[in-house]
Amino acid sequence: MVSQSVSIGLTKDIFTQPLTYALEQQSVAAGIWGSKPCTIRYTSLAENAQLLADGEVDIALISPIDYAKNSMEWEIIPGLGIASYGVTGAAKLLFRKGLTKIATIAADLRFPTEMVVSQLVFLEKTGEKPRFFTHGVQPGIIPEDNDAVLLVGDAALPIKTIQESVFDISEEWNDIAEVPLVHAVFACRRDSISPTTAAIVLQSHAYYAENKDTIIRDLSTSRGIDYDRLHVHLNEELRYTLDDLDIDGIKEIFRHCFFHKMLDEIPDIVFYRPASEDHLRMN
């Protein structure tokens, strides 16, 4: 019996479940350690970053933008992430019909990368940079004083993309950068976790891949989402393996942010490796 414990920052958003379901059920940890030592903290991508910075969790699912702000201290668990390419429904901009210009957007601070990428899309396509308002945002509702609302994750899924007053942020970003939009990655503080701890996270998606039909049925029932719609969303519209193309997607966000003076420098991407190996630095 191993007494070591690990604390993991997760979210309850449906689009994270292929990476987090097994962790929530303690299925992977029990298989590796023969016990259930994981402590799960449920917040948001943005709040997870703060927990990681404060040392309150060992590993956290975070936004690439939050990684950029802490890249000197953090490293990314390789091979895992949440990315989209094309019309996916993961992030949508719902705007008032008949507008010729979008100047103000209501948005949820829990999703910093989608907020930043939305601004990049407007800067690249119109030369304008909309202002964000982050108070009192309600899913599917455009506040009276705003031109649009940014919907991400659970809030975005029910909104039909193919209609006059909706932009799919992933599709718009893909059109500009020709790379996926990466919504989240797993990160830890540098040189802070063991290979066994990393294995718990790395094997979580493998558990999902082996049991996805059962898991999707469970999620469909517990979340009240149509099974077929959820199956397409999690298995066709989103990607969870963080391959070279997805890494290029993260880099492209950083480069665009630097060009538009939203970042002071282009961060390095450093991936976790066991302490006996050199870190892999992606410049």
Identify which has the larger pLDDT, 138 or 122. Answer: 122
The CATH class for the domain spanning 6-83+181-282 reads alpha beta
Distance CA 62, CA 42 (A): 12
Mean pLDDT, all residues of the chain: 86
Tell me: pLDDT of 263 over 50: yes
The pLDDT, as a whole number, for residue 59 is 94
At residue 24 the predicted structure's pLDDT band, cuts being 50, 70 and 90, is confident
Structure tokens at 63: 């936004």
Tell me: pLDDT of 97 over 60: yes
At residue 277 the predicted structure's pLDDT band, cuts being 50, 70 and 90, is very low
Structure tokens at 254: 């950083």
Enumerate the domain spans of the chain. Answer: 6-83+181-282, 91-177
Which of 100-104, 176-180, 204-208, 276-280 is predicted with the least confidence, judged by mean pLDDT? 276-280
The pLDDT, as a whole number, for residue 265 is 94
Which of 158-162, 196-200, 254-258 is predicted with the least confidence, judged by mean pLDDT? 158-162
| Equal CATH topology for 6-83+181-282 and 91-177 | yes
The pLDDT, as a whole number, for residue 280 is 42
Residues 211-238: tens digit of each pLDDT: 999 999 999 999 999 999 999 999 999 9
Residues with Cβ < 8 Å from 23, sequence gap 6 or more?
8, 10, 29, 38, 40, 200, 201, 204
Provide DSSP, the chain.
-----EEEEE---GGGHHHHHHHHTTHHHHHHHSS--EEEEE--HHHHHHHHHTTS-SEEEE-HHHHHHTTTTEEEEEEEEEEE-SS-SSEEEEE-TT-S---EEE--TT-HHHHHHHHHHHHHHHS--PEEE-SS-BTTB--TT-SEEEEEGGGTTTS-SSSTTEEEHHHHHHHHHSSPEEEEEEEEETT-S-HHHHHHHHHHHHHHHHHHHHHHHHHHHHHT--HHHHHHIIIIIEE-S--HHHHHHHHHHHHHHHHTTSSSS---EEE---TTSPPEEE-
Residues 28-86: tens digit of each pLDDT: 555 554 555 678 899 999 999 999 999 999 999 999 999 999 999 999 999 999 999 88
Domain 91-177, CATH among 3.10.20.30, 3.40.190.10, 3.60.20.40, 3.30.70.2740: 3.40.190.10
The pLDDT, as a whole number, for residue 165 is 79
The predicted model scores a pTM of 0.88
The pLDDT, as a whole number, for residue 33 is 46
